[in-house]
Amino acid sequence: MPTVATATQTGAAGTRSAAVTEMLTEMKKTDFDIALNIAGYAGLPIRDRLGKVNDEVWTQSSTDSTTGRLVEPSDVRKLLLTQINAQLESKKELLAELETNDLVCKWVLKYTTAWEKAYNEGAHTRWDMGGKVASIMHEALHEVLEIVNSGPFPVASIYTALKAAKQRNPDLPLLAGELAVVRFLFRNEYTRHYMCRIAGKLLQKKETCNKAGAYSARQQRHDITYEKDCAIKALLYAIDDQEERLNEVADMLADRGADKYFADHSDQEGCGQPGSSA
């Protein structure tokens, strides 16, 4: 874990060092990527027609500042479009004299960006994985629990590392219990691919078997179960073959390398979609 810097940032959780804030932001982006990967493996629709990530994948947490809000994002969008139309209507004679529409396009984009920035600054929203994705991650852990415990990083060693992380990082908010184990296995780069694939196929099985398809429900269950079993076997074979990259997980748990993967970003505001201003 990086040395705590002297620079600090103040937010909903109080004053935090720049190093802690950076670590929480990194883990939030990692969780965002994990949610997209699981949804992709499951064949879920990831984005709506406006390009926004679906709530089943990445969603806004319910907080005091969002519960009972009178103005929702859809309301603001309607107001914005109405205002844009009114502005353009009031200047239609000047616009008719323009040879190209480049100026109008640039104005609309800047006007919209200004509204979005002002709304996001006042929203104070918190984001995390959608309930469907989060729950299937826990199911994935229990599917491979025996396999994980037979390898170089049993669950007991993950709990030991979590306890050490709490002692080393009193200022870093950390997860607890099974949630910490789940996020560690999905976040670290050595087991992430295996766990995302398993979770995705478990979710695909649930989704496929709960709706009518183009072929029989029995055949659907067979095909998806086969893909899920293949995903689990991939992790089993990697552990049985004592792959070096999985030994790296054990080494990570033995020192502070695992600390950041236990970080709890649930009270960090913003980052609706990492990389955006939301």
- For 85, phi then psi, to 5°, come to -60, -40
d(CA 196, CA 223): 19
CB neighbours (10 Å) of residue 257? 15
Angle (nearest 5°) at CA 12 between 9 and 17: 25
What does the DSSP 8-state code read for residue 262? G
**Would you mind telling me the total number of residues written for the chain in this entry?**
278
Whole-structure pTM value: 0.76
Both structure tokens of 95: 């616009």
d(CA 57, CA 54): 6
Residue 224 burial (10 A CB sphere; 0-12, 13-18, 19+): buried
pLDDT (0 to 100) of residue 277: 41
Spatial CB neighbours of 163, under 8 Å, sequence gap ≥ 6: none
What pLDDT tens digit does each residue of the chain (278 aa) get? Answer: 443 433 444 444 557 788 899 999 999 999 999 999 999 999 999 998 878 888 889 987 655 454 445 666 778 788 889 998 898 888 887 777 777 778 888 888 898 888 877 766 655 567 789 999 999 999 999 999 999 999 999 999 999 999 999 999 999 999 999 999 999 999 999 999 999 999 999 999 888 776 665 455 667 677 888 999 999 999 999 999 999 999 999 999 999 999 999 999 988 765 455 544 44
pLDDT (0 to 100) of residue 245: 92
